[in-house]
Structure 1
Amino acid sequence: MSMERSRRARFANTAPSTGEFAIGFVLVGVFVFLITPLAVQGLVGWATSGSFAWPNGHLASAYGGLLRGRFGAGLTDVVAAGLPGNAVMWVLAVIGEVLAIGATVVVAMWMRDVIGANSRHGLATATQAAEALGLTPLRKRADQIRPDLYARTNRNGLLR
């Protein structure tokens, strides 16, 4: 393995780019936005009837009911009858949306910081290193910092 190949392997940035991260965030945001009204309906159904109200096998009719402004579509009649009025459910759904999207944004920002999108995590730029350590000490130790570029040789041409 050559020195150049090992350097490339060491400095390869495997973090997702900003564009990839943004696309992932949008997809997760859309999913959370679409699933939150059904999750709110399920939690309210659980609070009123004692069972989590999920439209098993009737997801299309549940979303059709939501598009028409009615909760409870796709649920059993007993659970749908136990749900509060549509106005109350929509207020709860909006509150749930705000909480869910807010949590999604917070988690996405945390992930961006942890993963380091568009950054070389842990590596300082030349300017940052010069500010932190000083230009003179960096130049004195150039052979230690970048031995591939600033290797010192003795009179016989051998590295010391």
Structure 2
Amino acid sequence: MGGDDAMSMERSRRARFTNVAPTAGEFKMAALLAGVFFFLITPLVVQALVGWATTGVVALPNGHLLDAYGGLLRSDFGVGLPDRVNAGLPSDAVMWVLTLVGEVLVLGAVVVVGMWMRDATGASSRHGLATPTQAAEALGLPRLRKSAAVIRPDLYARSGRRTH
């Protein structure tokens, strides 16, 4: 067996034992960033939808994003929107209630999609593999140690073993 073949087999063996699923920490960080993004964008989407429902014009505060968020911090919806759309918006109290409903819907959607993605990618799961404690209980610690090279050849390969 040539040197290239042995290297290729070793690379192939390593690739089989490499976990490419996102870790639980990576998954939590992605969900957190998505949640913050959707939390910040929801008031603007709500005012755009209400503006569309009242005036028939879909308008976002294009080019006036900082002004729009400043207006929201002062409880003033419609900042950065065309005057026609701004005039058609209901009172700020109604807009805040609608925004709260929108935030709850978005939060629910983020949780559902996040749980689906976690299950689909296998993050925070072992894809049916036993934990070390479960394996020790099932096999017994002496047998587990004796079979380590078979169970995890990537970690416990026997030295001096011939590869051909």
TM over 0.5: yes
Counterparts of 1:18-97 in structure 2 under 5 Å?
18-97=24-103
Closer/same/farther in 2, CA of residues 49 and 35 from structure 1, 3 Å limit: same
> Which segments of structure 1 move beyond 4 Å, counting only runs of 4 or more?
none
Q: Work out whether 1:105 is the aligned partner of 2:111.
A: yes
Identity across matched positions, percent = 60
SS at match of 2:59: coil
- Name structure 1 gaps, 5 residues minimum: 135-141, 150-158
Size of the aligned set, in residue pairs, is 140
- Name structure 2 gaps, 5 residues minimum: 140-146, 158-163
TM-score, normalisation: structure 2: 0.74
RMSD value over aligned CA atoms?
Answer: 2.8
Q: Structure 1, residues 74-105: CA drift from partner, whole Å, max 9, x if none?
A: 01111100000000000000000000011001
Report the Cα offset of residue 106 of structure 1: 0.7
2:35 & 2:16 partners in 1: Cα distance? 34
Partner residue in 2 for 1:124: 129
Partner residue in 1 for 2:142: none
Contact 2:118 2:124 in 1 (8 A): no
SS at match of 1:73: coil
Q: More displaced, 1-10 or 69-78? A: 1-10
